[in-house]
């Protein structure tokens, strides 16, 4: 049994080494020398105890493997900021982990602001060090370029300095981190492909289907090249990931299931093709497929804790960001009916909300999604709203001060409200990106709330509210100083 245990440990150790073997380990002694030797390098400054670093490491190692043999060469390296690389980390002002920076022959180029998964890291780095558009000299080059699992855009030009070619190269420089570009002026290739002055978007083989063309051609009469690429890049139903999710705009319909083009491309496309079959008839809506595991947080926002079985779960947001859940089990027919109901506006939006409190008579009112209009929007009072998270340390520190504020202003024409933004949908036009977030909503301008950026002591709140209240407070003047009741002025 003991022998089996040590064998198991040794296998783990070998696997770890295998994952890390393509990443160069740097120290203060080797940092400058190694980077000067290497043509293009992405360096991860890390701390061994850092959770984000631990999550990034396997993706970083995979990216290093994917970049082997790239032309021009790209190396991925790492340096431990807590031990042998302290001086190097200090030199480049590393204050958080992981921090990634790009170098060329020892010179710092830029901070890395790209994706944090393997394919995204590799794609981003290729865009940084190579030309925005690869020149193709013949048929073999085109075939090799298109042998990819990514969308590719190729410009075919009779003259390299034509207006279309110039516009193409300008767009390729803008979009090089997202799109693979190539171009050619080779007459033999232009004749064989049948394009003289055109730009062609090629869908990768893995995403091709019978419901949309494998290629989309742009000609000058279409107008903006970048708009053409953005419109056609994802096709009828794009593969939406954590790295590209912001590129998908409302109104958006997303099918969540076991999307995995590495381990199960056939099964992934089985459902995607059924989605496309219906989606092609609804051009006013945008569509995507997403991994149910990668987007569990979105499923939670729609009240779904777990996706059972293989069939997709379909969720949608309309142009106003209202949420809708397809309640029926997925089929071509139920999906089509759901989309028709969305376009007709006959579905009731899903609202994530805690129950409305049975007793809400406290000095600080409790807001939830289902009573927000009553407690805030239509209360005919100036309102200060705190959007908080129960686990947030700053929120806990603010709580007693906020309660005291409610007590101080209990008789004023002002409502003090708290709202758990983790358990309730935050209504528009409020935006919450951190906790606590506070807004001031004047009673005559509830559609234009103002983000509160002042201090968080009791006096800070009172001075702010006294100054901005629609009607002057009874107990405080406009500067926030206490006003004595008239009965005391004898």
Quickly state the pLDDT bin for 13 (edges 50, 70, 90). very low
Q: What angle do CA 63, 65, 66 make, to 5 degrees?
A: 65
- Report the side by side order of strands in the sheet with 252-257: 237-240, 286-291, 252-257, 313-317, 323-325
Which residues, in sequence order, are bridge partners of residue 388?
420
The DSSP output letter for 378 is T
C-beta contacts of 447-455 below 8 A and 24+ residues apart: 449/385, 452/384
Per the CB < 8 A criterion, the answer to whether 102 and 41 are in contact is: yes
pLDDT at 8 over 50: no
Q: Mind listing the pLDDT tens digit for each residue in 416-465?
A: 999 999 999 999 899 999 999 999 999 999 999 999 999 999 999 999 99
Closest CA to 386 of 476, 378, 396: 396
Per the CB < 8 A criterion, the answer to whether 171 and 189 are in contact is: no
Q: What angle do CA 246, 249, 252 make, to 5 degrees?
A: 115
Which residues, in sequence order, are bridge partners of residue 382?
414
- Pairing type for strands 152-156 and 237-240 reads unpaired
321 sits in the region (left: phi over 0; alpha: psi -120 to 50; else beta) called left
Q: What is the pLDDT of the chain when averaged over all its residues?
A: 92
Per the CB < 8 A criterion, the answer to whether 27 and 79 are in contact is: yes
Quickly state the pLDDT bin for 490 (edges 50, 70, 90). very low
* Phi, psi dihedrals of residue 384, rounded to the nearest 5°: -105, 125
Helices (H), 150-197: 163-175, 187-193
Calculate mean pLDDT across residues 192-214: 95
Q: Is the peptide bond before 429 cis (omega within 30 degrees of 0)?
A: yes
Q: What whole-number distance in Å separates Cα of residue 92 and Cα of residue 87?
A: 9
- Mean pLDDT lowest among 16-25, 39-48, 134-143, 478-487: 16-25
Closest CA to 239 of 205, 277, 268, 281: 268
CB burial readout 136-153, b (16+ within 10 A) else e: beeeebbeebbeeeebbb
* Identified catalytic residue from 81, 89, 141, 395: 395
> What per-residue confidence (pLDDT) applies to 19?
61
> What per-residue confidence (pLDDT) applies to 409?
97
> What per-residue confidence (pLDDT) applies to 416?
98
- Report the side by side order of strands in the sheet with 215-218: 133-135, 180-184, 152-156, 198-202, 215-218
In 53-164, at which residue ranges do the beta strands (DSSP E only) sit? 75-80, 99-104, 107-111, 133-135, 152-156
* Phi, psi dihedrals of residue 330, rounded to the nearest 5°: -65, 135
Q: Mind listing the pLDDT tens digit for each residue in 42-78?
A: 999 999 999 999 999 999 999 999 999 888 899 999 9
pLDDT at 119 over 80: yes
Summarize the chain as % helix, strand, coil (round to 5): 35, 20, 45
The SS3 of residue 134 is strand
Calculate mean pLDDT across residues 247-255: 97
- Residue 81: active-site member: no
Query: CB-based contacts of 360: which residues, under 8 Å, 6+ apart?
Result: 366, 371, 375
- Residue 89: active-site member: no
What global pTM score does this model have? 0.74
């Amino acid at each position: 049994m003991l022998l089996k245990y040590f064998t198991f440990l040794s296998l783990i150790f070998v696997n770890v080494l295998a994952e890390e073997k393509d990443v160069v380990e740097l120290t203060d002694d080797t940092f400058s020398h190694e980077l000067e030797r290497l043509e293009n390098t992405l360096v991860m400054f890390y701390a061994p105890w850092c959770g984000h670093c631990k999550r990034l490491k396997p993706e970083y190692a995979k990216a290093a493997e994917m970049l082997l043999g790239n032309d021009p060469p790209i190396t991925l390296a790492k340096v431990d900021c807590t031990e042998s690389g302290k001086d190097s980390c200090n030199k480049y002002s590393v204050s958080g982990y992981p921090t990634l920076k790009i170098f060329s022959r020892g010179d710092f180029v830029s901070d890395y602001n790209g994706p944090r998964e393997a394919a995204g890291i590799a794609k981003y780095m290729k865009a940084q060090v190579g030309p925005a558009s690869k020149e193709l000299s013949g048929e073999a080059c085109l075939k090799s370029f298109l042998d990819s699992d990514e969308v590719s855009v190729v410009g075919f030009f009779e003259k390299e300095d034509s207006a279309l070619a110039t516009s193409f190269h300008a767009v390729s420089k803008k979009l090089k981190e997202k799109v693979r570009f190539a171009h050619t002026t080779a007459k033999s290739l232009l004749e064989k492909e049948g394009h003289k002055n055109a730009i062609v978007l090629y869908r990768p083989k893995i995403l091709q289907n019978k419901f949309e063309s494998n290629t989309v051609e742009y000609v000058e009469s279409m107008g903006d090249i970048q708009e053409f690429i953005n419109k056609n890049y994802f096709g009828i139903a794009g593969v939406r990931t954590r790295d590209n999710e912001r590129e998908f705009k409302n109104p958006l319909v997303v099918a969540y299931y076991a999307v995995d083009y590495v381990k199960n491309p056939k099964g992934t496309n089985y459902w995607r093709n059924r989605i496309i079959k219906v989606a092609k008839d609804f051009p006013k809506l945008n569509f995507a497929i997403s991994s149910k595991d990668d987007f569990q947080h979105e499923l939670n926002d729609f009240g779904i804790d777990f996706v059972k079985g293989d069939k997709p779960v379909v969720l949608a947001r309309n142009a106003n960001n209202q949420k809708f859940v397809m309640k029926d089990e997925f089929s071509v027919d139920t999906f089509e009916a759901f989309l028709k109901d969305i376009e007709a506006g006959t579905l009731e939006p899903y609202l994530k909300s805690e129950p409305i409190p049975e007793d809400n008579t406290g000095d600080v009112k409790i807001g939830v999604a289902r009573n927000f209009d009553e407690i805030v929007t239509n209360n005919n009072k100036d309102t200060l709203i705190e959007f908080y998270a129960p686990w947030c340390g700053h929120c806990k520190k603010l709580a007693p001060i906020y309660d005291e504020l409610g007590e101080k202003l209990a008789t004023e024409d002002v409502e003090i409200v708290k709202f758990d933004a983790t358990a309730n949908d935050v209504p528009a036009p409020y935006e919450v990106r951190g906790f606590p977030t506070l807004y001031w909503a004047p009673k005559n301008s509830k559609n234009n709330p103002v983000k509160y950026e002042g201090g968080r002591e009791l006096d800070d709140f009172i001075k702010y509210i006294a100054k901005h209240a629609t009607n002057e407070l009874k107990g405080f003047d406009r500067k926030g100083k206490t006003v004595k009741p008239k009965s005391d002025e004898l």
